Amino acid sequence: MSDDPVGLVRAAQAGDTIAMNSLLDHLVPYTSRICAPIALHSGADATQEALVAVFRALHTLREPQALYGWVRSIAVREAVRIARRDSRSTPAELTELPAPGDPQLAADIRDVLGRLSPEHRAILVLRDVEGLDEKAAADLLGVPEGTVKSRLHRARDSFRKAWTS
């Protein structure tokens, strides 16, 4: 069997459950890379729920070439939903995001993520993990581009303030 994800989607849509198994092997690392930083301690739940939604709706995916973009949007949506559902008392939440390449971001990403809301974590993941620009991130999250831009770029000083407090 081909390991090409497009071929696997087509075979899975045609009813081959072994192809579904191989497709799952492909999609677990990709989905987890998006869900874990957004859902944090519920990362495994979010990854599972995102993939449940993916496999339930796989028959509706008309363009298998669009697989990863399609999975990405489901993964972000499910991760934010699960993170909100499971949100515990959040320590002094950052309202702004660190800039790309910020040394403090590189030093302790978990600490930074733990201070952000799920929606802010989603923007950070789309920018820094998925390499999306502001317009694409805004489209995917269903918010105006200006909102993403302001969340991303107003940020540095208040991030540093919260970080060093």
The span from the CA of 36 to the CA of 9, in Å, is: 24
User: Within 2-41, which residues bind other proteins (CB under 8 A)?
Assistant: 12, 14-18, 20-21, 24, 28-29, 32-33, 35-37, 40
CB atoms within 10 A of CB 52: 12
Contact status, residue 144 vs residue 61, Cβ threshold 8 Å = no
Give 9: exposed, middle or buried? Use CB within 10 Å, 0-12, 13-18, 19+: buried
Q: How many residues bind other proteins (CB under 8 A)?
A: 39
Q: Applying CB under 8 A, which of residues 26, 128, 136, 147 lies at the interface with other proteins? A: 128
Does residue 105 bind other proteins (CB under 8 A)? Answer: yes
Q: Applying CB under 8 A, which of residues 63, 65, 69, 100 lies at the interface with other proteins? A: 100
The span from the CA of 78 to the CA of 45, in Å, is: 10
Does residue 47 bind other proteins (CB under 8 A)? Answer: yes
CB atoms within 10 A of CB 55: 14
Does residue 133 bind other proteins (CB under 8 A)? Answer: no
Binding site for other proteins (CB under 8 A): 12, 14-18, 20-21, 24, 28-29, 32-33, 35-37, 40, 43-44, 47-48, 51-52, 55-56, 58, 100-102, 105-110, 113, 125, 128-129
